[in-house]
A and B are shown apart, each in its own frame.
Chain A
Amino acid sequence: MAKAEYRILGTSIPRMGGVERVTGAGIYGIDLVLQGAVRGGVLRSQHAHAKILSIDTSEAKALPGVYAVVTAADAPDVKYGRTSMDRYMLAKDKVRYMGDPVAAVAAESEAVVKQALKKIRVVYEPLPVVLDPEQAMKPEAPTLHEEVPLPANLPKDARVKNVCAFLTVHVGDPDKAMAEADLVVEEAYETKMVHPQYLEPRIAAARHEVDGRLTIWVNAQAPFGVRSEVAKLLKIPLSKVRVLATEIGGGFGGKASGITSGAGLEPICGLLAMKAGRPVMIVLDKAEETISTTIRAGTKMWLQTGAKKDGTIVARKGKLIFDAGAYSGFGALAGSRATQMLAGWYLAPNVHIDGYVVYTNKQVCGPVRGPGGPQAAFAVESHMDSIAAKLDMDPVELRLKNVPKRGDRIVGVPKLRDVSLGETIRVAAERIGWGKVKLDKNQGIGIATGSWIEGSGPGGGAIVKVNEDGSATVHIGKVDYGTAARFGIPMIVAEELGVPPEDVAVMNVDTDASPWDAGTVGSRSILVSGNAARLAAIDARSQLLRMAARQLEASPDDLEIKDRQIRVKGTPAKSLSLASVANAAHNEIGEVIGRGYFDSKASEAEEKEKGSSPPFTTHAAIVEVDPDTGRVKILKYVAVHDVGFVIHPKAVEGQIEGATAMSIGQALCEQVVFDDKGRTLNPTFVDYLMPTVNMLPRIESVTVAGYPGAGPYGAKGAGEIGCVPPMAAIANAIYNATGVRIRKLPLSPENVLRALREGSR
C-alpha cells in the first residue's frame, strides 16, 4: 500500500524515548540503584579445560564485608542448554573454557568482592585443551562432554567426536548433477570468532523479597526467558520469579536467549541474593564480558559447485564445521542456519550440505545478529565470484542468471511469492556504478547478495490500554534497544487509534504485567509485536466506537477516529472526544483494553499455501588496497534492501547501516584472538578493534518497495539481514583490485599483505 494511505506510517517521527537518551535520563541496567544492595562478582576458570578437584571458600567467607560465597554445591543440581542440557550455572566437576563461572561472591563493595574472589582456593587438574573445531572432531582429541552422546543422526561411517549437533540439507541428486556439470569449483573458507561488543556491560540485580519471591532486574533481550531459566535453575516456582527489564545499551543477540548468553549471570545473582539476604547487583567488566559471554562462532566451510557454461548453477555440495565453544549454547541453531545458507539463496536444484557443530574449549556460541548467516554468506558470495572468474563471466550477470522466480523453491523456503533478489542486484549495481565507474590502480569493485529467512518461532501478544485522557499505554514483551519497540510500534498504535504518536507510550517489560514473549530476537519485533500491537489497537478502537455509537446514535461502522475525536463519517459536527468516551468506559467496561496476538502458526500456514516473500539484499563496495601495507579503505558502500513496507524509514536505514557496519568490522578487523592455552589475548577495547567513524565510508542504504512481507502492513524484519553480505562484498572488491582471493577473515592489513605476497609469488 502507498504511504499516502497513512497519517503516520512511512514517516520518520522522533523516536519514542529519544529525549531520555539524549539527556542522560534513561535508566539503563548499569544505572540501577537498589536500596541496600551489595555487589556481586564471579570467579572464572583460569584453565580452558580442567577437572575441579576441590574448592575451598572458607577464607573468602571469613573476609569482613562478605555476605555470601556460592559454588555449584550451593545450587540445585540442574543443567541448562537450548538443544543439549550440558551446562551448570556454576561449573561442577569440570571447567571447559577460560571464563567458565566457578564460584560467586556477594560483598559490601566491589573492592571486597575482588579480594574475596582471590581468596577462593580452587584446585584444578588441567586436561588437554582443544581450540580448533576441526581438531576437536578427531579421535585423538580430548573429550569435552563425557555425558553428552553423539547426535543420533550422524552418518554411520563418521568417525568423529565432540560433535554437539549434526545438520544436513539435501535436495535432488547432487552427485549426478555435479558429474554432469561443465565446470566444478571447489574452495574452503574460514571465519573467526567475534564478540558483539554492545557498549553497555551486562548486569543482573536480584532481591529476595520478604514473601519469598525473587525480583530480578536485567538488561536482557529476553526477560521471559530469564524468568523461566532462573526458576528452573534455582528450583523455585515460576510464579516466584519476577523479571524487570531496564533500558538496554545494545545487545545484537549477545543479551538474548534467556540466560545462555549471560553465562548464567541472572541465576547466579539470584542465588547470591537468596544466600546473602541482601539485594545483589553484578556488573560485568568489559574484559570479563569479552572472555565469558556468548559470541559469533568461527567457522570452516567447504563449497563445491557445479555450473553449466552459461552460468546456471546445477549442483552444490558443502561442509561446515561450526565452533560451538565449550557448551551447546546457541551453536546448533546458528549452525543449522549456516548449514542451510551454504546452499545459497539462488536456484539450487541439487544440494547436499553437512554441518558439524563442534565443542571446543572456547567461550560459547550465542545468537549474534543473523546467527550463522554472515559466516555462510562470506563463503557463498565469495565463491560466486570465484565461479564467475572461472566462467569468465561478469559477477552481476552470474547472479542474475540464478535468481529464483515467483513459485520457485530455494533451500529454506518451499514456495517463493515476491522475489526481490534480482531487483536488489540491479539497483546495487546501478548505484555503485557497476561497469561504468572508473577505477584507479589498486581499486576494486565488489558485490554480494544475501537473504535472511525469518525463522519460525512463537507468537506474542500486545495490550493497548486507553487512558481517560485518550492516550494509550502499550504493553509488549519486547525491549527497546533501538529496534521497533519504540520506533514502529507506537506509530502503529497511533495510526490505528487515530491519535498522535506522542499520545502513545510503550512500556518496558515486567514479566508480572507484560504479555509473554520469546524475546527481542530474530528480526521479529515488527513481525510479532508489530502485528500484535496493530490488532490490539484495532480491538481498542472497536470498543471505543461501540461505546461512542450508542452516544452518537449511529452505527459503529459509520464512525471514525481522527485527531483524538470520534465522529460520524461525513458529519463532522456529530463527534465526541476520544477522552470523553475513554472516560465513560469507567462506568461501562472499566477501561478500554485492546488485546492482540500474533498467531505465528496461522501466519506460517498462510505462507505455506500462498508462498512467502523473504527479504533479500545486495551490497556493493569500491575499495582501495594499499599494496605496501595491506590496508583496505572502503571508498564507497551501497546497501540495497527489500524490507517490505517501511514503517519508519530512518529506523530501517539505521538498522541497515548499523548491521552493515558490524559486518564491515568483522570483515576488516574484528576477531577474538586466543593463545594455545585458550586464553583470550585481546579482551579489552584497547586490543579488540571495532569500526570507528573514520574507518567507515558513509553507508548508503537504499530500500526497494513493492515486496510485502508477513509483518503489519507488509513490513519485514530489518535488524539482522544487513550483516549478511558485507564480508563477501569487500573480499570480492579486494579480489577485483588485486587479483588475489582471500578466503580467511579478517581482511586485516596483516592478512591482506600476506595474501598479496603469497599471491604474487
Chain B
Amino acid sequence: MSLTITLSVNGKSHSAALEPSMSLLDLLRDTLNYKGTKLCCNTGECGACTILLNGKPINSCVTLAADANDAQITTVEGLAEGDRLHPVQQAFIDTGAVQCGYCTPGFIISVKALLDRAPKPTAEEIEEAVSGNICRCTGYAKIVDAIQIAAERLAGGS
C-alpha cells in the first residue's frame, strides 16, 4: 500500500508517493534528497535529524512522513539566503562550535526555533532548547557561545 502526500520543503512544494511506515527523515533524505538533515540514532534521542515542521522543531526520524502532509518543512538547507548564511549558521562557525559537524544541522534548527520564539533567551531557555541534541565533539561550551552570539546579532539586526 502506498499513499501520496504533498508538502513544502524550504518553500519548494513536493509531492511524494510513500509507504505509510516511512519516516519523515527517510522521505527527506532518500526520496527528496535533502541530505543535510542527519541520520543517527533513529530513536528520537540525539536530535541530529531535527527539522522544523510548521515552525516547530521535531525529530524527523520518529515522525511519520504521512503526518507531514500539507506541512511546511524547514531543513538546514533552507536557512541561508544565497551566499548569506543565517546568523545562527554564521555564529556556529565564528565561535568554533563546529568540529565534526554531524550534529550541527540539528542544533542549528533547534536554535533557530528557539530564537524564533524567544529572541532574548535566558541561559535556562538555551539549555532547554538544545537538551535534546547530542554533540560528542565540543562539550557544548562553544555551542552555547554560538547561541548567545546569534541571539545578540539577530536582536541587533532587527
Contacts and interface: CB of A to CB of B under 8 A. Distances in A.
A483 B101 CA distance: 11
Given A250-B137, A657-B142, A684 B45 contact: yes
B42 interface: yes
Given A199-B38, A247-B101, A252-B136, A693 B130 contact: yes
B95 A690 contact: no
Interface in B91-120: 92-96, 98-105, 108
Which of B34, B48, B136, B143 is the most central at the interface, judged by chain A CB atoms within 10 Å of its CB? Answer: B136
A61 B148 CA distance: 56
A250 B45 contact: no
A692 B128 CA distance: 10
Interface in A665-696: 684-686, 690-694, 696
Contacts of B95: 650
Given A23-B77, A31-B35, A654 B42 contact: no
Interface residues of A, number: 56
B92 A286 contact: no
Contacts of B108: 22
A503 interface: no
Nearest to B40: A199
B12 to A, nearest CB: 15
Interface string B2-33: 00000000000000000000000000000000
A286 B41 contact: yes
B138 A657 contact: yes
Contacts of B36: 23-25
A248 B136 CA distance: 13
Contacts of A686: 41, 43, 45
Nearest to A664: B139
A658 B103 CA distance: 13
Mostly, the A contact residues are loop
Contact of A12 (B79, B96, B127): B96
B131 A693 contact: yes
Contacts of A24: 34-37, 75-77, 105
B100 A249 contact: yes
Contacts of B75: 24
Given A15-B96, A650-B96, A685-B134, A482 B43 contact: no
Contacts of A197: 136
Contacts of A21: 98, 101, 104
B144 A199 contact: no
Nearest to B78: A24
Contacts of B41: 286, 684-686
Given A24-B105, A199-B102, A694-B127, A651 B96 contact: yes
A658 B139 contact: yes
A481 B99 contact: yes
Nearest to A652: B96
Interface string B114-158: 000000000000011011111111111111100000000000000
Nearest to A251: B100
Interface in A648-664: 650-651, 653-654, 657-662
Contacts of B53: none
Nearest to B47: A692
A201 B35 CA distance: 14
Nearest to A25: B36
A67 B85 CA distance: 44
Interface in A1-22: 12, 14-15, 17-22
A3 B99 CA distance: 24
A26 interface: yes
Contacts, number: 167
B101 A23 contact: no
Contacts of A657: 138-142
Contacts of A25: 36, 77
A699 interface: yes
A176 interface: no
Contacts of A693: 127, 130-131, 133, 140, 143-144
A124 interface: no
B77 to A, nearest CB: 5
Contacts of A468: none
Interface in A295-331: none
Contacts of A654: 96, 99, 137-139, 142
Interface in A148-185: none
A199 B103 contact: yes
B98 A200 contact: no
A15 B98 contact: yes
A482 B139 contact: no
B89 interface: yes
Nearest to B104: A21
B85 A286 contact: no
A285 interface: yes
Contacts of B93: 14-15, 18-19, 22
B143 to A, nearest CB: 7
Given A28-B38, A199-B48, A690 B100 contact: no
A198 interface: yes
A688 B152 CA distance: 35
B39 interface: yes
Nearest to B45: A685
Contacts of B134: 199, 685, 690, 692
Contacts of A692: 131-134
Contact of B98 (A12, A18, A27, A694): A18
Contacts of A285: 42
Contacts of B34: 24
A658 B85 contact: no
A24 B92 CA distance: 13
Nearest to B90: A22
Interface string A627-659: 000000000000000000000001101100111
Given A15-B93, A693-B143, A198 B100 contact: yes
A693 B129 CA distance: 10
Contacts of B90: 22
Nearest to A111: B19
Nearest to A656: B139
B100 A23 contact: no
A398 B128 CA distance: 41
B68 interface: no
Contacts of A569: none
A27 B79 CA distance: 18
Give me the 5 closest cross-chain CB pairs, A-B, nearest first.
A24-B36, A482-B99, A249-B102, A21-B101, A650-B96
10 contacts: A22-B92, A23-B80, A25-B36, A249-B100, A250-B100, A286-B42, A657-B140, A658-B99, A660-B139, A684-B41
Given A196-B136, A653-B142, A691-B140, 11 more contacts: A23-B85, A24-B105, A250-B102, A481-B99, A482-B99, A483-B99, A651-B96, A657-B138, A657-B142, A696-B140, A699-B139
Interface of A: 12, 14-15, 17-28, 30-31, 196-201, 247-252, 285-286, 481-483, 650-651, 653-654, 657-662, 684-686, 690-694, 696, 698-699, 701
